[in-house]
Amino acid sequence: MTQLTGQPATDDDVVHLTVPADGGYLGVLRTATAGLAARLQFALDEIEDLRIAVDEACAMLLAIATRDAELECRFAVTEDALTVEVTVPTVRGATLPAESSFAWKVLTALTTSASATSADDRATISLLTRRSGGY
């Protein structure tokens, strides 16, 4: 089941999207990412960069997800930035690629900042992208 809810947080908009942890559902997350970035008037190349970054982050998480897991995606929209947090339950002992890996180089090249946390058999990748001045 795919679930989409929006709830305001202070002055920001927060959107939660949960999909099965299956590559076939990543298009839903890419589309949501593009729609929210467009709402912030990101430039077309910024929107595409963010879509690629979200796709890469999800691919990293899908590789370590438990069977029948759900991929939880939280989008926080502010006046000039979009933060995307993607979380998945992980198999015991799973680790994300090292920050020196090609996958992380892609994430850091395409976003303002990228980070990861892993605790309690869950892994989260957070991406922050700020809109450039010229839109």
Q: How far apart are CA 131 and CA 42, in angstroms?
A: 6
pTM of the model: 0.86
Sign, CA dihedral 27-30-36-39, equals negative
pLDDT in tens, the chain (135 residues): 333 344 444 445 899 999 999 999 999 999 999 999 999 999 999 999 999 999 999 999 999 999 999 999 999 998 889 999 999 999 988 888 888 899 899 999 999 999 999 988 999 999 999 988 644
CA 62 to chain centre: 12
Tokens of 111: 């976003």
Q: What separation, in Å, do the N-terminal and C-terminal C-alpha atoms of the chain show? A: 36
